[in-house]
Structure 1
């Protein structure tokens, strides 16, 4: 026997290597809920060119993996039911399985901190948590992440979990309480996907193509940041510098002696400095630190580490803007090429902007450093000075790579990986961080809804929009209100969209707490809106102002969506109605009497071109319909 023949026979006796099993996308894990009543998209990965067969409830579909290793099949629609096992099989019988799947309705709940607010902090939490034991409700939470480009999978492991007293405490309270009411009325399995991030504006949640009309200036800057972060920071820095100079007339990055400096007690939150002036300080503070380098050290370049800064920073080294970041849990690290450093004294300037809660360096001091490339690390834990910005110099511009305010970064990492997963609807509770933003929130809300519908392949996907809750000091007379303007933008955005419903919450808040605990009532109102917008129930969402017109010495405001009639609680008059002329100074409170679905405002004979209602951060109102639902804030022209 020749050596070649021996090798051939030996190889023939060795079993062929088993093919790797196809992989189901993690969204299709054990306990998942699939959307009823529409084709079910299922996807995953396998070897390029491999034929994958997907089977659910004895129905199979086959797809061939593309060059990118991805495959997708569309299974026929199914009625509510289960449990089922989902199988994706490939060559040599290798298969991936997900068990205990249900078919029902899937809701995506998203927004900022009031959607993120967990069940364990809600009213009556202990009782509600103990009763949360429903095997036909499944929960999935998306972790906070950002990305400069749309992602096809999540950066963190995700998995569905059964609703139990152990799984629900950290889940979104508004989302869960909505689902609890829907389970009682619709009696189908529910899957809840929670993807929220506190403190975020709306722009990061919109895909870049849809956001481009609002981000024309930033789109190119974001693309530059992907290629060269330092170059992008240099370009954005000119915008930031102009903002500061217009308000103060100074350029401290060119000559820091333009500011008055004091020794910083410690590189830690300024609320802990022991200075009464910083006990509850929210504003902008400059920090300065000088460091000496040898010619050899400067020639290497370095990495500047500042630890976590709360909230935002604009950082300069030797007068050059090198970084701008936002986030009370984000560690700042900025690469410094050799051309920015010099032999001798180098100056680090950090403009720290804080809008709420703690402010400044988080510390400890040991995390602040300058690491010379290939050399020693110099401690920057002490020796800092600080200078407080003039009163009113707040809210500096934020760059498009800002995780909380920039263009598309959160969408890319927290919505895009959901792919075309089947949904019944989406609940959106966000807006606090956009108060005071003069760009058009209603148009951005429309862009968000359109972009998500396109991704989820659902052109008429229902959206439930929660209008901001009341928060802030009460007022004794009409005045401008950024919160009221944002609520008006939410109302307009929802009114423009035939598949959106507005959920009013301006009577559920706390004057001194931006995160009200009564999420049960928010959930009840969300569920009612869902039954109207997504389930076709003949159940009004709540009173909505439609028109204001003159009639026989009065102005009549007509409402739609009223259950029964409008009733003023604790009196015969409805509070918080205003008549206004062309300017703010003309606004005054009006005598208002409800009658069925109309509120009659007494004409006081003074010029009036518009009606406003509940125009305040924390309006005091007493008008409800017989379903115990209030009309929301509005502004209407008088016809």
Structure 2
């Protein structure tokens, strides 16, 4: 998917070279905000070996383009202010960018809760109607994925001052953060929104950085081949996917659902209309998130099989891995678009040909769109053969786990969004980055801390050492718990907490009380913006205020009780709605050993009692997908979820 932004750039290029590209990179346009108090890096494209002259706010520098025409210049640091004019000249060309402010620039990135627009936020109509701030400027990065890093955007971008029209489609969390922060940090704010719903953290990390983990080398090798020969790379990926399946515990050696022969396992007839499997009337699939195999055959003539062909599938919700005659031919992420997979020469044959699709769904509806006639083989002569001879399906037990994602997939791949949405930013000066992501990685929470550290180091390598990273901890979502249990969401929140706690330039905004049990996209982004602004004041601007509410420091024994000590408490700990807080658990070493504990507030400590207290080795708080947590401080900020060992 790609988002086209309206508007044009006025580069003021001399008429005798009007066909040449703008001298300046697309980040430098009217209404731009440049980072204050540090040297200002400016770059662009000129003719090879051409001298480039750059002027801004009375400062002038020169640069020379290299053999490919790329040039870079560095202007002296400026204090917050403006508006200024940025003037660039080379040869007979000149580009003028006006209304440039100098202030603090923020990158806002992540998945759908960062992407969620102001028009979808709480009290949206009033928020949009009242929006008007020439000192907050907005730039939305087009949603483009790529298999190689891009030097600039593939679609037009622009900086816009805040007004009711420009703020409507912009990230609500990002905008409300800057609006709140500007109350205490009175400088212009530049906001760069680079977010994609449903994206995994691996997609936002460069391939070079991911290789340092040593766990994605095979996928990254396939990705490198995909850039040069997509059809061959897809075949290689199909073999890797098959290896994953065959290595699953409980999968028999002859269980190869993609094979053209008679497949193992229990296969049933799918409804002719296909569509979301939740609506088939099959109890097993009524509320199923996981994998389902689909299989069909299509009979071809010799003339059809000899032609070049494309397999056209309707939308699959949300990830497919597809084989034809036992060979992998394609894999795509995203529920909204159909699939078109070019088939290698010689793959089809006269007679019956087998098409097998594995569909993975992780949220709400899942399955192949219908009807069956929406799926077809299309041939080079313009004819087609619909796949309407009947589909069979087979449900995959959830305990087999989640399959690897094709590395070229847009939001679920490796480095794809880094390449298409982060790399085009170049090394633009930033004050910090906001990161709201993790919902799409809960199934691999045990790896998330490592991935978040790598992303942080990767972005610092691009935008500058010590780049502050403000992380939003996942909000509550789903049914409230009635007993202690394991939670992928809670485990990922713990990974976020640990990574933030280990680095002074990383902060954590707790959102456990402002989610929505019934909606994974909570609309109260105003309060989230306030908490992010408070976090920035602490982490970035070094104000001496608690960053984000009470923080559990340690847990130890006090007689028969376990006591948790909290820091960063404003005006004391309080329990909402009862004599003591709820949501605390005492646990042993074994999975399933956790029990709810009775809790009492004693100053900045919470004392826990339960029959298992004497044997407890761990304390957990707010440990569920959507926990009920009632411990706050006098400033109205919640204590965040955590797991801590019980010290002697």
The normalised TM-score by structure 2 is: 0.91
Aligned to 1:608: 616
Q: Gaps spanning 5+ residues in structure 2: where? A: 1-14
SS in 1 for 2:644: strand
CA displacement, residues 68-110 of structure 1 (integer Å, 9 cap, x when unaligned): 2111111111111111111111113x20111111111111100
- Work out whether residues 115 and 175 of structure 1, in 8 Å CA contact, stay in contact via their aligned partners in 2: yes
Q: What is the rounded CA distance, in whole Å, between the counterparts of 1:183 and 1:256 in structure 2?
A: 66
Deviation at 1:566, TM superposition (A): 1.1
Q: How many residues matched?
A: 621
Q: What residue number does 1:474 align with?
A: 480
Q: Is 1:333 the counterpart of 2:340 in the alignment? A: yes
Match for residue 508 of structure 1 among 514, 528, 533: 514
Residues 477 and 516, structure 2, Cα contact 8 Å, conserved in 1: yes
Residue 326 of structure 2 corresponds to: 319
What is the distance in 1 between the residues matched to 2:605 and 2:53? 60
Larger radius of gyration: 1
CA change 1:21–1:505 in 2 (3 A) is closer
Matches within 5 A, 1:28-427: 28-92=28-92, 94-212=93-211, 213=213, 214-245=215-246, 246=248, 247-249=250-252, 250-254=255-259, 255-258=261-264, 259-266=266-273, 268-270=275-277, 281-362=288-369, 368-373=375-380, 375-380=381-386, 382-392=388-398, 395-427=402-434
What is the CA-CA distance between 1:477 and the residue it aligns to? 1.6
Distance in 2 separating the partners of 1:211 and 1:18 = 42
The CA RMSD over aligned residues, in Å, is: 2.3
**Quick one: distance in 2 between partners of 1:42 and 1:183?**
26
Q: Structure 1 residue 537: deviation in Å?
A: 1.3
Inter-partner Cα distance in structure 1 for 2:569 and 2:270: 61
Q: 1:328, 1:585 → 2: CA distance?
A: 36
Cα displacement (A) at 1:251:
2.1
8 A contact 1:21–1:95 mirrored in 2: no
Aligned equivalents of 1:48 and 1:371: distance in 2? 46
Matching residue of 1:462: 468
Give the superposition deviation at 1:331: 3.5
1:547 corresponds to 2:579 = no
- Measured in 2, the distance between the counterparts of 1:400 and 1:502 equals 29
Listed one character per residue, the Cα deviations across residues 27-62 of structure 1 (whole Å, up to 9, x for unaligned) are: 111111111111111111111111111111121111
Alpha-carbon distance between aligned partners in 1 of 2:148 and 2:108, rounded to the nearest angstrom: 22
Partners of 1:388 and 1:169 in 2: CA distance: 44
Which moves more between the two structures, 325-334 or 56-65?
325-334
Rate the CA distance shift 1:572–1:275 in 2: closer, same or farther, 3 A: closer
Whole-angstrom distance in 2 between the partners of 1:204 and 1:143: 15
Q: Deviations over 1:447-479 (max 9, x none)?
A: 1111111111x2111111000001111112211
Cα distance, 1:211 vs. partner?
1.2
Give the match's secondary structure for 1:143: coil
Which SS does the other structure have where 2:495 is aligned? helix
Deviation, structure 1 residue 272 = 6.7
Distance in 1 of aligned mates of 2:48 and 2:387:
52
Q: Which residue of 2 aligns with 1:449?
A: 456
Deviates more, 1:401-410 or 1:291-300: 291-300
Shift, 1:273, TM fit: 6.4
1:581 aligns with 2:580: no
Report the Cα distance in structure 2 between the residues aligned to 1:505 and 1:624, rounded to whole angstroms: 12
Check conservation: 1:267, 1:382, Cα contact below 8 A.
no
Secondary structure, counterpart of 2:167 in structure 1 = coil
Q: Once the 2 structures are TM-superposed, how far is the Cα of residue 204 of structure 1 from its aligned partner?
A: 0.8
Deviations 1:589-623 (A, max 9, x none): 12222223222223645311111111111111111
After alignment, is 548-557 or 578-587 more displaced? 548-557
Distance, in Å, in 2 between the alignment partners of 1:285 and 1:436 is 18
Distance across 2 between alignment mates of 1:350 and 1:634: 40
CA contact (8 A) 2:298 2:389 kept: no
Residue 22 to residue 46, structure 1, CA distance change in 2 (3 Å): farther
Quote how far apart the aligned CAs of 1:152 are: 0.7
Cα contact 1:267–1:384 (8 A) shared by 2:
no
CA distance 1:630–1:18, shift in 2 (3 Å)? closer
Change (3 A) 1:319 1:487: same
